[in-house]
Structure 1
Amino acid sequence: MAFSTLLKAGVVALATAHAEAKPTVNDQIVFLESSNSSLLTYPTQFTQNIVPKSIHSHNDYWRDVPLLTALSYGVGSVEADVWLENGTLFVGHELAALTPARTFASLYVQPLLTVLAGENPKNAFTLNQTTPNGVWDTSSGTPLQLLVDIKTDGVATLPYVLQALEPLRSEGYLTTYANGTLTTSAVTVVGTGNSPLDPIKALEPRDYFYDAPLTQLTDPSLNTTFDVSLSPLASTDYEVAVGWSGIGAISDAQRANITKFVNDAHALGIKARFWDTPGWPIHARDTVWTELMNDGADWLNADDLEAASEF
């Protein structure tokens, strides 16, 4: 039914029901919403009205509903701790937290496939579309960052992680570096924790990247040239690198550390993240967040996603 016809029907219905009252725009909205009209829905609306934000969901798998809760707040980066046990990748903070059902595939790969299938409908309108949409309806070209924190032996675990990512890879959803070209796609996967540097450097093509050490980007002992083709992200422990609690004034030396590390990363085109930032007291947490943002840090590392999304 055409919009004008539907609107006219609403006006007539409301006028009949309220002969002495003129229908308002809000009345029309209520009528149209209650009509279940196909005019009011579209394929990619799963993340409708959600604005992506530079927030990293620290230990994302701790949420009651991992991944989707982060998406609901517009969180642009999530993190899964993975353990290789008997050929399967399980997700949890420690061995005692693992369960048969909570796997890397069930908590992250499969939900991402479902979300991205919705954001990339196959129809006559998308027939010639060559670049897949990301998870964000409001910003389809913005990738979701997925950190894979390997907890078991990195060299032994990496092949299983790469295999687990195959469903996303086969759909063209993974950011990839190949033949000297970095092609950004819907999901950028970054290995951290025990993810092994040398095997990741050797990947060709590469769709599993390396979380570089933010305080050692120019350290010659690592025998590595860090750039976005290898490390779109560099991270460090805030407590070790900076140490300011957020209570009282930050010292010049502490601020200089933040800006030095951030500037080192930005000079290489890499984004900077500080983890293990204070979570309590709340005013101290917010003060540290403010300082990091003012000093150019790219990702706000957060446990309280609601607070971070409103920050």
Structure 2
Amino acid sequence: MNTLSPLRTLPLFLALAVTPITYSGAQSTNHPAPLTRAHAHNDYEHKHPFFDAVEQGFCSVEADIHLVNGQLLVAHNSRDVDPAKTLQSLYLDPMRQRIKKNGGRLYANGPECTLLIDFKTEGKTTYAVLGKVLAEYSDILSVFKDGKLETNAITVVLTGGYSREAVKAQAMRYAVCDGKIPDLEKNPPANLVAWISEDWSKFFKWQGHGQMPVDEKERLIQFVTKAHEQGRRIRFWDAPDRPAFWKEMLADGVDLINTDDLKGFQTFYNSR
């Protein structure tokens, strides 16, 4: 079986979660090796969102947003929103602070990273507010002008209930979209749909115990190969979260490994 070529056309991804910038981790002297294939799933549910992830070297972190009274609040459920926990205070501001400290990158001399923003409220109205907020952070965010990408320290990727049409309509924007497996057949522009985010259980039964069935492995590699041919990355959510599964995903070319076990994944990855 041929080795898959590395994806060169898109930046690495950093999706984010939630932590007050008063947390001491913002000033940490820890300099971990960037984990370019690690995605901190629902990062905001950790004790110190964002900071715990970057202290382990994660290059992709996830924030769920709710539009409430004109503010973008970070929480998984609407009942958990807190006016103090905005996208700016929990992510964009500490990211900017860290990027300035590290000479223009989230990690000194490191890769571009991704903030994955998951829409939990209506797509068009939420994006109208988000677009204005992101423009205020143009100094750290990748920008898309007239179909061309100008990379920066952070690339924002949208998932969940966003409006793809609202994003597509902008000649200049600070975000790209994710897609689903059917998008591999439709093949939208990679500078609009930059990666594939899919539910593992919709296509696979294997849960990381024993050998992965041959037919499922072949199907997975087909998805990965097609995504890479189109210039996209691929990740799976609602997936097993254990070393045997991580090992198989890395071997088969999956770009971003979803995990809630930040320290466990770092230990696994660095000991390979």
How far is the alpha carbon of 1:49 from its aligned partner? 3.1
Offset at residue 305 of structure 1 (A): 0.5
Alignment check: 8 A CA contact 2:144 2:175 kept: no
What does 1:206-285 align with in structure 2 at a 5 Å threshold? Answer: 206-213=173-180, 215-220=181-186, 225-227=188-190, 229-279=191-241, 285=242
The one-letter code matched in structure 2 to 1:204 is A
- d(CA) in 1 for partners of 2:53 and 2:143? 24
Question: Which residue of structure 2 aligns with residue 52 of structure 1?
Answer: 34
Which letter does structure 1 place at the counterpart of 2:143? T
Q: Which amino acid aligns with 2:185?
A: D
Contact 1:115 1:135 survives alignment (8 Å)? yes
The structure-2 alpha-carbon separation of the partners of 1:209 and 1:47, relative to structure 1 and needing over 3 Å to count, comes to farther
Q: Does the residue aligned with 2:59 lie in a helix, a strand or coil?
A: strand
* Alignment match, 2:122: 153
Q: Which has the larger radius of gyration?
A: 1
Secondary structure class of the residue paired with 1:66: coil
Q: Equivalent residues in 2 for 1:1-311 (5 A)?
A: 49-53=31-35, 54-120=37-103, 133-139=104-110, 142-169=111-138, 171=139, 173-213=140-180, 215-220=181-186, 225-227=188-190, 229-279=191-241, 285-311=242-268
Equivalent residue of 2:223, what SS?
A: helix
State TM-score, norm by structure 1. 0.74
Contact kept in structure 2, 1:47 and 1:72, CA below 8 Å? no
The whole-number CA distance in structure 1 between the counterparts of 2:171 and 2:204 is 36
Distance in 1 (CA, whole Å) between partners of 2:101 and 2:136 is 15
Q: Deviation per CA, 1:135-188, whole angstroms, max 9, x where unpaired?
A: 11142xx1120000000001110011112223311x2x1112213432110010
1:299–1:156 distance in 2 versus 1, CA, 3 Å: same
Report the identity percentage: 32
- Give the C-alpha shift of residue 271 in structure 1: 0.8
Deviation at 1:47, TM superposition (A): 6.3
Structure 1 residue 97 displacement after superposition = 1.5
Q: 1:46 offset after TM fit, Å?
A: 6.0
Contact 1:51 1:138 in 2 (8 A): no
| SS of 2:90 mapped into structure 1 | helix
Offset at residue 274 of structure 1 (A): 1.1
Q: d(CA) in 2 for partners of 1:147 and 1:255?
A: 27
Q: CA RMSD in A?
A: 1.7
1:301 Cα offset (Å)? 0.7
Amino acid corresponding to residue 176 of structure 1 in structure 2: V
Residue 151 of structure 2 aligns with an amino acid whose one-letter code is T
Q: Which structure carries more helix by proportion?
A: 1
Alignment-derived partner of residue 4 in structure 1: none
Residue identity opposite 1:137 in structure 2: A
TM-score by length of 2: 0.84
Q: Supply the distance in 2 between the matched residues of 1:262 and 1:236 (Cα, whole angstroms).
A: 12
Residue identity matched to 2:263 = E
Q: Which amino acid is the alignment partner of residue 135 of structure 1?
A: L
Paired residues of 2:72 and 2:130 also in contact (CA < 8 A):
yes
- What do the CA deviations read for 1:186-243 (whole angstroms, capped 9, x no partner)? 0100000011111111221132100111x112334xxx6231x112221101111222
User: Which residue does 2:22 correspond to in 1?
Assistant: none
Q: For residue 6 of structure 1, what is the aligned residue in structure 2?
A: none
- Give 1:66 deviation, angstroms: 1.2
The structure-2 alpha-carbon separation of the partners of 1:93 and 1:233, relative to structure 1 and needing over 3 Å to count, comes to same
Equivalent position SS for 1:116: helix
Q: d(CA) in 2 for partners of 1:158 and 1:96? A: 21
Task: Confirm or deny: 8 A CA contact 1:55 1:77 kept in the other structure.
Answer: yes
Give the gaps of 5 or more residues in structure 2: 1-26
Give 1:51 deviation, angstroms: 1.3
